[in-house]
Amino acid sequence: MPKQFDILVIGAGVVGAAIARELSRYRLSIAVIEKEEDVSFGTSKANSGIIHSGFHSQPGTLKLKLEAAGNRMFDRLSYELEFPFERRGELMVAFSEDELQILHKYYQRGIQNGMTGMELLGRERTLELEPNLNPDILGSLHAPTAGVVGPYEYCFALIENAKANDVEIFLGGKVVGIRKDGAHFEVETDQGESLTGKFIINAAGLYADEIAKLAGMSDFRILPRKGEEYLLDRRVGGLVRKVIFPVPSEKSKGMLVIPTVDGPVMVGPTAVDIESKTDFSTTRTGLEAVFKNAQKMVPAIRATDIITSFVGLRPAATGGDFIIGKTKVKGFINAAGIQSPGLTASPAIAEMIRDILKDEGLKLVKKDNFRPERKGAPKIRPLVEKMDYTAIEKLIAKDRNYSRLVCRCENITEAEIVAAVRSGHTTLDGIKFSARACTGRCQGGFCTSRILDIIHRETGLPIEKISKKGKGSEILLFKK
Amino acid sequence: MNLKYDIVIIGAGPAGLAAAVSAKKAGIDKVLIVDRESSAGGILNQCIHNGFGLHKFKEELTGPEYAERYIDLINGTDIKVLLDSCVIDIISSGNEKEVIVLSEEQGLLRISCKAVILAMGCREKNRGNIAIPGSRPAGILTAGFAQKMVNLHGYMPGREVVILGSGDIGLIMARRMSLEGSHVKAVIELQTHPGGLNRNIVQCLQDFDIPLYLSHTISEIRGDRRISSVEVSPVVDRSFPDRTRSFNLDCDTLLLSVGLIPENELSLKAGVQLDNVTRGPIVDGNLMTSVDGIFACGNVLHVHDIVDWVSEEAEYCGRAVASFVKGEIKKGREIPVRTGKMLSYTLPSKVEAGKPAVLSLRVLAPLENLYLCVRTGKDILYKKKFRKIFPSIMQRISLKEVPEDAQYLETYIEN
């Protein structure tokens, strides 16, 4: 007997998660189906973590409209859901007269979109704001509404809140069949799971075209665009405060210098169209391009400061814009082609989907008991940084596990790891993204064995079954 | 909770243990060692192979046996060892130091003391640091982490193994993995010469028929969930992979033995200045760092290859710290130590005129038929002939006395 729902959301990246959380405000039964072992394991985990300031995209596009709308929603969201978000602002910097002209164009666009506080700055003021920028810079466009966010913490927080509001999440099963049966859809996964829903929201990222095909449509293709990012040692974390953009090209926003919300500086991404949906390899040429561009803007950046790198594949769709809307199959709604500024737009995309569902006849009745707030586990790192030992003692008094340091580099305690495991993160990558362990200088050299023990203790999973990112990626192959 | 000690030693590995015993012997009353692991011994606990203690004890001990020698000495004293505890900060104010500790058993501790000895050891360079191109699958581990899981926890990372780096840890793991039944297909080394001790090349590679590819590197890692193969390329100009002449090695495990970095996060927090070459604190002839009352010894100061010298250095440090605490250090005239061509560093960077000195140094590259010398001005204080000398072996030079009127010391190579 298949499980019955009102809404089936396919894909638990930031888009699927935002949609699920938004719809969980209403009296609806909602399921999210995710093929990976954990949420946010697709494109969303490789995100740059930038909340864009509403002027990057082309006028007249859904991208621009939703970027501007989404940007405004993050203060409230981060307050309600407790994920890291800071409105640092961005500087788009110009090295020539031609580039200065282009800054003007973006300035106008931002104003038209109602983005407040934008200003064109001369060289001196630019260097005053960011002293480590290249002194050859002629000027910049300052957009104070841009911000930095923890992309997976955001996604996890959305899902946790959705779950607290009765959304069901199905992990580890890929959708392999979609059948329309009168007014219902019947969806089958490769794990043998069967679910029905009145509506399907296609938020399947890189595979949105394949999901649409299962429902009988081939209106668009996903054209993966690879981006390599390089994370630098925390030691050089103070190089910039704001996100630094070059004047962009046709293809992409350019390679940036990003002060991540955690502290370390990140540089990239590249933007290379590729055929494969599974090519996540970093390349030497990518590294060279990223550092050449980063050093042009911030000369003190060195490739020797790299502590890790990763790759994301943007699910760009044919046509270049977001594909959000109803389709010729009644009840099947796309939220596809969500490349940049997808993260920024995600809460606005969720509201747009809600409105589309309403138009399609779905009754939206608000829940009386909707809980908008989600509390994350308290973190010890900011307390260590502030040397607030009284607060640390209070935490330890509440939970002894706060006195057990697991991740030395980032100051993460056992309490936080346990909280991550209990929220459903049982892979090393899941723990990494939610608790932030293994992200520091030693890249898990010290903490991994402890994390394996904690996961084993909390879940009963044998050590040799604990994986990096799901089946097939076990850390240790066998017991002696 | 507030506690008070004379000396707090951070790390109960070979350096911390030897420093503690030595400080106690030199008359210090309250000595505390703090370590984040569940037992004392540091990295030695996972080094189950023998070869330790040849110099110190004239025996070939395993790592745990060597550690036990010092643990036994400590057990006979009132030296306190606080385990499962992590130091999160060191605060200096005036003559006092405050060490903040997160202790699994006792919660947050604030320990005041007169002096601190940094003995935190090293961490391993990893895939992220050296930015090997390719995918990020499971099955890539640093050699030390693999050693811990295999020797202490009883889990094998895989069956078809490639090792990057021919430093001692890589060589030891090549043998260990083979003994445990895995197939070690190759050891890949970037340099023209092996990184580890010659006896390990023989006993770990040759004895097991494991090929060593010098002047090669891994130019790509392949595999989706788990590593499936590595592309190995010869290097041109010491670092550039020539992918036209590359070959593939199928594997399910890649162990990285690509360098050790002294773990000085805490030192930086305490305001200690680090040396760019050694990556450890800059110290004077007493092994005191740029912060008064904070000393350093062992791998955290500079990477060692022989634990016996770690113990010697730590014992020296313990005596120096004892003098400091007792107020008996009379600082003589400090003079700089300069490092000549073809040497990568000399430690310490300053010594006192009129006092004995122990200098540690390494050459930059393998050299043949030379003299290793120390001079001050025209006076040659030390001259030793070497037929062959390697960067992988730390040289130690004991000078009975630095001349009273010396203005500087210089270590150098002469043909």
- Give the residue from A346, A229, A235, A335 showing the smallest Cα distance to A282: A229
Distance from CA of A404 to the nearest CA of B (A): 5
Per mean pLDDT, which range of A230-239, A339-348, B63-72 is the poorest? A230-239
Per-residue pLDDT of chain B (415 residues; tens, 9 = 90+): 889 999 999 999 999 999 999 999 999 999 999 999 999 999 999 999 999 999 999 999 999 999 999 999 999 899 999 999 999 999 998 889 999 999 999 999 999 999 999 999 999 999 988 889 999 999 999 999 999 999 999 999 999 999 999 999 999 999 999 999 999 999 999 999 899 988 899 999 999 999 999 999 999 999 999 999 999 999 988 778 999 999 999 999 999 999 999 999 999 999 999 999 999 999 999 999 999 999 999 999 999 999 999 999 999 999 999 999 999 988 789 999 999 999 999 999 999 999 999 999 999 988 999 999 999 988 999 999 999 999 888 999 999 999 999 999 999 999 8
Neighbours of A174 (CB within 10 A): 17
**HSE of A151 in the Cβ direction (CA atoms, 13 Å)?**
27
Same domain, B105 and B152: no
Written out in words, the top-level CATH class of the domain with range A1-86+148-221+318-376 is alpha beta
Same domain, B19 and B50: yes
Distance from CA of A477 to the nearest CA of B (A): 5
**């009168």: which residue's tokens?**
A182
Number of separate domains in chain B? 3
In whole angstroms, give the CA distance from residue B19 to residue A13. Answer: 53
Q: Report residue A56's pLDDT band, with 50, 70 and 90 as the boundaries.
A: confident
Same domain, B24 and B43: yes
Contact B84 A474 (CB under 8 A): no
**């969980």: which residue's tokens?**
A24
pTM: 0.93
Contact A393 B145 (CB under 8 A): no
In whole angstroms, give the CA distance from residue B174 to residue B38. Answer: 27
Rg (CA), chain A: 22
In whole angstroms, give the CA distance from residue A226 to residue A233. Answer: 23
Same domain, B239 and B134: yes
**DSSP state letters, A113-153:** TT-TT-EEEEHHHHHHH-TTS-TT--EEEEETT-EEE-HHH
Nearest CA in chain B to A447: B145
Beta strand residue intervals within A132-286, DSSP E: 139-143, 147-149, 168-171, 175-181, 184-189, 194-202, 222-232, 243-245, 256-259, 265-268, 272-273
What residues in A contact B225, CB-CB < 8 Å? 467-473
What residues in B contact A226, CB-CB < 8 Å? none
Same domain, B282 and B240: no
Same domain, B175 and B248: yes
The tens digit of pLDDT for each residue in A451-480 reads 999 999 999 999 999 999 999 999 999 998
Same domain, B241 and B273: no
Nearest CA in chain A to B36: A405
Distance from CA of B363 to the nearest CA of A (A): 23
Last residue of a domain, one of B331, B360, B389: B331
Angle separating helix axes A342-359 and A62-71, nearest 10 degrees: 100
Neighbours of B382 (CB within 10 A): 16
What residues in B contact A470, CB-CB < 8 Å? 225
The domain A87-147+223-315 having CATH identifier 3.40.50.300: the answer here is: no
Same domain, B139 and B243: yes
Write the residue in A280, A283, A446 that is nearest to B136 by C-beta.
Answer: A280
Same domain, B250 and B137: yes
Domain housing B368 = 332-415
Q: Which run of H or E residues covers position B21? A: helix B14-25
| ipTM of predicted assembly, 2 dp | 0.92
- Candidates A41, A272, A282, A310: best to mutate against B (most CBs of B within 10 A) is A282
Same domain, B176 and B237: yes
Nearest CA in chain A to B241: A284
Contact A445 B145 (CB under 8 A): yes
Distance from CA of A333 to the nearest CA of B (A): 31
The pair of structure tokens assigned to A80 is 């309600």
Q: Indicate the length of chain A as a whole number.
A: 480
What residues in B contact A392, CB-CB < 8 Å? 102, 108
Which residues touch A466 (CB under 8 Å, ≥6 apart)? Answer: A426, A427, A428, A452, A455, A456, A474, A475, A476
Contact B128 A307 (CB under 8 A): yes
Contact B225 A468 (CB under 8 A): yes
pLDDT of A396 strictly over 80: yes
Architecture of domain A381-465: Orthogonal Bundle (1.10)
Q: Would you state the pLDDT for residue A115?
A: 82
Neighbours of B328 (CB within 10 A): 10
Which residues in chain A are classed under CATH 3.50.50.60? 1-86+148-221+318-376
- As to burial, measured by CB atoms within 10 angstroms (0-12 exposed, 13-18 middle, 19+ buried), residue B90 is buried
The tens digit of pLDDT for each residue in A14-54 reads 999 999 999 999 999 999 999 999 999 999 999 999 999 98
Write the residue in B126, B155, B219 that is nearest to A479 by C-beta.
Answer: B155
Write the residue in A287, A393, A411 that is nearest to B108 by C-beta.
Answer: A393
Contact B156 A473 (CB under 8 A): no
What residues in A contact B153, CB-CB < 8 Å? 449, 463
Contact B145 A308 (CB under 8 A): no
Which residues touch B33 (CB under 8 Å, ≥6 apart)? Answer: B8, B9, B10, B11, B12, B16, B17, B20, B40, B74, B79, B80, B81, B82
Same domain, B374 and B292: no
Which residues touch A87 (CB under 8 Å, ≥6 apart)? Answer: A51, A74, A75, A144, A145, A146, A147
Contact B155 A476 (CB under 8 A): yes
In whole angstroms, give the CA distance from residue A414 to residue A377. Answer: 11
Burial code of A450-473, b = ≥16 C-beta within 10 A, e = fewer? bbbbbbbeeeebebbebbbbbeeb
Q: Would you state the pLDDT for residue A54?
A: 84
**HSE of B411 in the Cβ direction (CA atoms, 13 Å)?**
28
Query: Of these residues, A52, A56, A142, A425, which one is catalytic?
Result: A52
Distance from CA of A464 to the nearest CA of B (A): 8
Q: Would you state the pLDDT for residue B237?
A: 83
Which residues in chain A are classed under CATH 3.30.9.10? 87-147+223-315
User: Residue B307: what residue type?
Assistant: V
CATH code for the domain of B253 = 3.50.50.60
Last residue of a domain, one of B302, B331, B360: B331
Write the residue in A387, A449, A478 that is nearest to B156 by C-beta.
Answer: A478
A304-324: average pLDDT:
95
The tens digit of pLDDT for each residue in A163-176 reads 999 999 999 999 99
Distance from CA of A173 to the nearest CA of B (A): 16
Rounded to 5 degrees, φ, ψ at B213 are: -105, 100
Contact B128 A470 (CB under 8 A): no
Which residues touch B38 (CB under 8 Å, ≥6 apart)? Answer: B83, B84
Per mean pLDDT, which range of A107-116, A393-402, B66-75 is the poorest? A107-116
Q: Would you state the pLDDT for residue A367?
A: 97
CATH code for the domain of B403 = 2.60.40
Q: Would you state the pLDDT for residue B239?
A: 79
Contact A306 B131 (CB under 8 A): yes
Contact B108 A389 (CB under 8 A): yes
Contact B107 A448 (CB under 8 A): no
- Candidates B45, B93, B145, B159: best to mutate against A (most CBs of A within 10 A) is B145
Residue A425 is among the residues annotated as catalytic for this protein: no
- Candidates B129, B183, B217: best to mutate against A (most CBs of A within 10 A) is B129
pLDDT of A251 strictly over 70: no
Same domain, B3 and B110: yes
Nearest CA in chain B to A280: B135
Using DSSP, state whether A385 is helix, strand or coil: helix
Write the residue in A281, A408, A445 that is nearest to B133 by C-beta.
Answer: A281
What residues in B contact A463, CB-CB < 8 Å? 153, 155
Rg (CA), chain B: 22
The tens digit of pLDDT for each residue in A212-223 reads 999 999 999 999
pLDDT of A235 strictly over 90: no
In whole angstroms, give the CA distance from residue A218 to residue B243. Answer: 40
Contact B86 A231 (CB under 8 A): no
- As to burial, measured by CB atoms within 10 angstroms (0-12 exposed, 13-18 middle, 19+ buried), residue A80 is middle
User: Residue A157: what residue type?
Assistant: A
Distance from CA of A478 to the nearest CA of B (A): 5
Tell me if A32 sits within 8 A of A461, measured CB to CB.
no
Last residue of a domain, one of B227, B258, B289: B258
In whole angstroms, give the CA distance from residue A389 to residue A383. Answer: 7
